[in-house]
């Protein structure tokens, strides 16, 4: 009975002594303060500069002058120029078609005969009036005969004027049987052929001038602040207010570029898009690739020059109006700025930063004001 009690007690005492010994000889852990590792960030040392603001748009090339070719006389078409086809090129004054001139030539001949008869009658009436006037001075004829002669002379003069106008009209109608090009350009479409009877006032073709073209460029109204365009002007802009515009496109595997000017703004604002339409005019230089009508082009418009502007990548912008700067102690600081414009991949800062300050470009998931950073210059 004693053995069953003493042996377990001895075992408990041994284990308790061992536990006490282990606890007494165990090492003591002392807490140590860890130094945080600074986050490495890319920075840019800013410097104010002058920037030429630009506005971008795009549009489709349209002719500056387009009109319909309308005959001024009626008749059967007897001849057509090879140039009077879609895409045909012509010069101002070229004959594009001819109308049967027989009736108009006969009308001119009759008008000439009437004019000659009226000239003879007018000459006779004047001579008769002068003769009676001489007789009346010598009291050899009555006053009534002289007045009748004067009336006959005036009627003959009126008939002469009417005959002269009729002859000029007949001559002009005969000349109009040759339908001539009003300007130098290209044929967009035609709907006439030899033998067809055409009526006066009915269009037979659509033409457009090729010396210069126009492009309508939609611009948001807020973008107008970057252009030197007076809002009070209407119609054609004076030359000193015509910004230069550069058009470019990919055509036939080549990059083509043209230059022109903004010549006017359209009076209305587009209801659906709230865009203002600027009209660019570009001369077609014979030494350069022609700017074809219907071509889709991109436009870059020269704007105002802004001074003391700091250009930063968009990645530096935080919350639309803040950037992160690194102070002299390499600590992160929040800085409020005023943005002049977001342009492509850059942000133009008008105020809030000084020359030489270091702006953080790296994206940071957690940014705490005053945290230590390891700045690395972007150019390096």
What domains sit in the chain, N to C, each tagged with a CATH number? 41-51+307-377 (2.40.420.20), 55-64+210-305 (2.40.30.170), 71-98+180-202 (2.40.50.100), 101-176 (1.10.287)
Beta strand pairing status for 373-377 and 39-45? parallel
226: left (phi over 0), alpha (psi -120 to 50) or beta: alpha
Question: What's the confidence (pLDDT) of residue 102?
Answer: 94
Which string of DSSP letters, residue by residue, matches 158-169? HHHHHHHHHHHH
| SS3 at position 318 | strand
Closest CA to 266 of 302, 233, 242: 233
pLDDT in tens, 88-109: 999 999 999 999 999 999 999 9
In 284-337, beta strands by DSSP E: 296-313, 322-326, 332-336
Band of pLDDT at residue 380, cut at 50, 70 and 90: very low
The answer to whether the pTM exceeds 0.85 is no
Question: What's the confidence (pLDDT) of residue 377?
Answer: 85
The sheet carrying 39-45 orders its strands as 332-336, 322-326, 358-360, 39-45, 373-377
Is residue 57 over pLDDT 70? yes
pLDDT in tens, 129-149: 888 888 777 777 777 887 888
């Amino acid at each position: 009975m004693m053995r069953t009690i003493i042996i377990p007690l001895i075992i408990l005492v041994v284990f308790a002594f061992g536990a006490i010994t282990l606890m007494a000889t165990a090492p003591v852990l002392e807490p140590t303060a860890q130094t945080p590792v600074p986050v490495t960030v890319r920075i840019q040392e800013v410097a104010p500069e002058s920037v030429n603001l630009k506005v971008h748009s795009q549009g489709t090339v349209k002719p500056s002058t387009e009109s319909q070719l309308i005959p001024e006389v009626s008749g059967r078409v007897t001849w057509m120029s090879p140039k009077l086809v879609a895409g045909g090129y012509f010069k101002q004054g070229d004959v594009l078609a001819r109308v049967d001139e027989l009736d108009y030539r006969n009308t001119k001949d009759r008008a000439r005969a009437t004019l000659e008869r009226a000239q003879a009658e007018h000459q006779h009436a004047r001579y008769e009036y002068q003769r009676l006037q001489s007789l009346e001075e010598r009291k050899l004829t009555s006053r009534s005969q002289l007045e009748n002669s004067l009336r006959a002379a005036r009627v003959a003069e009126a008939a002469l004027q009417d005959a002269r106008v009729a002859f000029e009209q007949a001559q002009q109608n005969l000349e109009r049987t040759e339908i001539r090009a009003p300007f130098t350009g290209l044929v967009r479409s035609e709907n006439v052929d030899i033998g067809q009877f055409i009526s006066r006032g009915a269009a037979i073709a659509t033409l457009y001038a090729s010396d210069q073209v126009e492009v309508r460029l939609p611009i948001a109204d807020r973008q107008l602040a970057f252009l030197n365009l007076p809002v009070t002007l209407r119609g054609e802009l004076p030359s000193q207010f015509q910004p230069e515009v550069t058009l470019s496109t990919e055509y036939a595997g080549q990059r083509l570029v043209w230059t022109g000017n903004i010549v006017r703004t359209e009076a209305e604002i587009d209801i659906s898009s709230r865009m203002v339409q600027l009209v660019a005019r570009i001369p077609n230089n014979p030494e350069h690739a022609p700017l074809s009508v219907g071509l889709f082009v991109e436009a870059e418009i020269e704007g105002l020059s802004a001074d003391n502007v700091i250009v930063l990548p968009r990645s530096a912008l935080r919350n639309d109006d803040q950037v992160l700067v690194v102070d002299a102690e390499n600590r992160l600081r929040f800085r409020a700025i005023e943005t002049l414009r977001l342009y492509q991949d850059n942000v133009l800062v008008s105020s809030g930063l000084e020359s030489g300050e270091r702006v953080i470009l790296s994206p940071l998931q957690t940014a705490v004001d005053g945290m230590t950073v390891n700045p690395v210059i972007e150019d390096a």
